[in-house]
Amino acid sequence: MRSGVTSGLMIAQIAMSFVLLSAAVLFARMPGMVAGMDPGFETRHTLVVPLDIDTSSEHRRAALGFCRALESRIRTIPGVQSLAYQSLQLFRQSPPSEIRLGNQGKGQGKPASVDSVSTDFFSTFGIRVIGGRSFLPSDETSASARSVLVSQAFAKQFWPGNNPIGKVIITPDDKRSVVVGVVADTRSERFGINDGPRLYNLRDPAVLDGQMYVRFTGSTNTMKSAVRDVVRSLDPTQIEAPQTIWESLEADAEQMRALAHIVVVMASIAVLLAVTGVYGVLSFAINQRTREFGIRMALGANRVSIFHSILLRGGQQIAIGLVCGLALAEPAAWTFTRLLKNSPLPLRSFDLRVYGIAAALLAAISLAAMYLPATRATQVDPIKALRTD
Assign 318 a pLDDT band (cuts: 50, 70, 90).
Answer: confident
Q: What are the residue ranges spanned by the domains of the chain?
A: 2-37+249-387, 46-242
The predicted-structure confidence for 209-221, as pLDDT tens digits, reads as follows 789 999 999 999 9
Q: What is the mean pLDDT of the chain?
A: 81
The predicted-structure confidence for 106-153, as pLDDT tens digits, reads as follows 888 899 999 999 999 999 999 999 999 999 888 876 666 789 999 999
The residue among 214, 225, 235, 202 whose CA lies nearest residue 67 is 235
Reduced to 3 states (helix: H, G, I; strand: E, B; else coil), residue 177 is strand
Backbone angles phi, psi at 335, to 5 degrees: -65, -40
**What is the enclosing helix (H) or strand (E) of 361?**
helix 352-377
Sign of CA dihedral 368, 370, 371, 372: positive
CA distances from 44 to 7, 159, 216, 218, 244 (A): 55, 34, 9, 11, 6
Residues 194 and 97: their CA atoms lie apart, in Å, by 18
Assign 207 a pLDDT band (cuts: 50, 70, 90).
Answer: confident
Backbone angles phi, psi at 236, to 5 degrees: -65, -15
User: For residues 189 and 86, is the Cβ–Cβ distance under 8 A?
Assistant: no
Residues 84 and 78: their CA atoms lie apart, in Å, by 17
Sign of CA dihedral 198, 199, 201, 207: negative
Evaluate if pTM is beyond 0.85. Answer: no
Ramachandran sector of residue 382 (left: φ over 0; alpha: ψ -120 to 50; beta: rest): alpha
| Residue 349 per-residue DSSP state | S
**Residues in contact with 214: Cβ distance below 8 Å, sequence separation at least 6, in sequence order:** 46, 47, 49, 74, 80, 82, 83, 124, 223, 227, 242
* Confidence (pLDDT) at 169: 92
Residues 360 and 271: their CA atoms lie apart, in Å, by 13
Per cent of the chain over pLDDT 70 is: 82
Backbone angles phi, psi at 116, to 5 degrees: -90, 120
CB atoms < 10 A from the CB of 26, how many?
24
